Chain A
Amino acid sequence: QVQLVQSGAEVKNPGASVKVSCKASGYSFTSYAIHWVRQAPGQGLECMGWISAGDDYTRYSQKFQGRVTMTTDTSASTAYMELSGLRSEDTAVYFCARRGLGGFTYYDSWGQGTLVTVSS
């Protein structure tokens, strides 16, 4: 079955960077895109951008442009999201999600989430 397994929780100082991994299994990794979505404590969901695992094409939400980098390692079926210049407002659970196939964008499988805490 399709599974996305993310790396563990992180605690970072303001100004630092964090890199979250998302290991996929149960499907052809390069046939799908991976999206990253975050959720601040008690808040809603926010899309950060996505990467096409087949050709590493990326699109980032304007809010995160310049601070986020999404990459993949196809040999390990793993996607990565790196966020730099961390501030307290970046404290959130970060999810990776697989975009379903077809003409509409939707997330049919999700990772379990990675809590990133930014605190001095």
Chain B
Amino acid sequence: DIQMTQSPSFLSASVGDRVTITCRASQGISRYLNWYQQKPGKAPKLLIYAASYLQSGVPSRFSGGGSGTDFTLTISSLQREDFATYFCQQSYSDPQFTFGPGTKVDMK
């Protein structure tokens, strides 16, 4: 199975901060990488697919980059509603589409 790691696991930030989360795959996955946001008690929400494509309706302050094994999710100016947990997911290895362990973004 392809293993996914994320860093950091926890991140404390303030409104207006630029935030970057990193995701690494245990082997090359080209651009088969998605990012989701999850709030407590809710289903995940798709933010970015295919490494850098912004899902319809998602604010442009979210952006994704990378290819191969290393990927980033950047929030250019953190808003109050962005405090949540973020997961990356590789979609390279069907049907074992593994997720990263998550990065919780908390208010500083």
Contacts and interface: CB of A to CB of B under 8 A. Distances in A.
B46 A108 contact: yes
Interface in B32-86: 32, 34, 36, 42-46, 49-50, 55
The main secondary structure of chain A at its interface with chain B is strand
B45 A110 contact: yes
A60 B97 CA distance: 11
Contacts of B55: 106, 108
Nearest to B34: A106
Given A107-B46, A108-B46, A108-B55, A47 B95 contact: yes
Contacts of B49: 100, 104, 106, 108
A110 B43 contact: yes
Contacts of A59: 94-95
Given A45-B89, A111-B43, A104 B50 contact: yes
Contacts of A47: 95-99
Contact of B43 (A60, A62, A95): A95
Contacts of A107: 34, 36, 44, 46
A44 B100 contact: yes
Nearest to B92: A105
Interface in A34-87: 35, 44-47, 49-50, 59-62
Contacts of B32: 104-105
Contacts of A112: 42-43
Contacts of A100: 46, 49
Contacts of A104: 31-32, 34, 49-50, 91
Given A44-B102, A45-B87, A62 B96 contact: yes
Contacts of A60: 95
Nearest to A96: B43
Interface in A91-105: 95, 97, 100, 104-105
Contacts of B44: 45, 95, 107, 110
